[in-house]
Amino acid sequence: MSTTARIMLIICAGLVLASLAAGLRAQEPARLVVKVTAEQAILREKPDIGSAMLQQVPGGTLLEADRKEGEWYLVRYTLEDGAVIAGWIHESLVSLVSGTASRTTPPPPAKRPVERKTIPAGEAATAPPSVVLAVSSGGNYVAGGDLNVGLKGIADYYGAVLGVSPTPKPGSLHLTYILGAEVSFAIVPRLWLGLGVDFFRGEHTNLLEYETSEVPDVLETTGRVRAIPVKLSLTYYPASSLYLKAGAGWYPLKAGYTYRFERGEDWVEWVGEATANGLGAELALGGEWELYPSVFLFAEGNVRFAKISGFEGQNITRNSEDLTYTEDGTLWIFNVRASPDKAYPALFIRSGRPAEAGVQDAQPAAINLSGAVLRLGVRIRF
């Protein structure tokens, strides 16, 4: 074979090989790439909303996807140290940039084992610090302090004067509802700073009868509290769904009472409202569970310590003879003698320290808000 023929044969073989390679490349599927459209997207260990979080990915990040299963993409993300982790991301958080989402493509062989770190719900990982809005409601227990002492004392005083115990036995103000809202900021991984406000209000009424005649004497007593504490707190996540919280707050408080004694058509009534403010503290233990990307359900138990004094307000006295007397002053707790050997506590607003005959041990009243709170709410991470 001549040299020219050999050269022509080599050229033809090269063209055939190049054509085959181009055909093989044309059969390869286009690389699947997605872009994070949410401000932050969560990379999960499994294609499940309840699966552990592996990483938070900033918006705008391009991710190479290996395949799609249902509503989830299996993607690869490169960390700052160069390590590559694989995880699942929901289709609502990304948009398809190139390629066709194949639901049947077999998974590629693992390049190398990579340690996967589960990030607690309170940790922002490599993403910028998050902001969380929480709203909640629940039940609130308060000790009550001198407000409850006064309610019972008035009932016992009339019982001693009339010589008969009231029925039913007087109760106390303890349970109220509570509403809350809080904004929190991640300051370091696992630790959040929060600013919140609560609102709670409660009222308890006793309707008591003294069987002194055919028409019993009636005493109605009511105690009221309303507080709007503003709180600053620190929340620490030792685990992904468990957190501890400690905080302090400023407690503006309004307290009130109503006493009404009726004997036939005659009656006398005292109505008082007083306000004060003071400091309090809270400790809490809670758990949270993800309902949807960036939306969490949480349950929390709080222990509160707050005792408020220094109340100033107004008392209005009325009776069946159309007489009305108004008195501005301080809320006092003092003992009133019903007999030489028996005295009972009473809670009233008076313009000066009570010192009339039969009155002793007068002190400014204190309302004890210490107690416990059970909350249920929702947190939204932005």
Answer yes or no: is pLDDT of 23 > 70. no
> What separation in angstroms does the CA of 369 have from each of 17, 48, 274, 280, 290?
86, 43, 15, 9, 33
pLDDT in tens, 265-281: 999 999 999 999 999 99
Kindly report, residue by residue over 65-123, the tens digit of the pLDDT.
888 998 899 999 988 877 888 999 988 888 888 765 544 334 444 444 444 444 444 44
> Per-residue pLDDT for 298 more than 80?
yes
Q: With beta carbons less than 8 A apart as the criterion, state whether 255 and 225 touch.
A: yes
Instruction: Give the mean pLDDT of 33-41.
Output: 88
- Whether the per-residue pLDDT at 368 is higher than 70: the answer is yes
- Domains of the chain, first to last: 30-119 (2.30.30.40), 131-381 (2.40.160)
Higher pLDDT, 44 or 334: 334
Which contacts (CB < 8 Å, 24+ apart) does range 46-51 have? 46/88, 47/71, 47/72, 47/74, 47/88, 48/88, 49/90, 49/290, 49/291, 49/292, 49/293, 50/289, 50/290, 51/88
Confidence check: pLDDT of 127 > 90: no
pTM above 0.85, yes or no: no
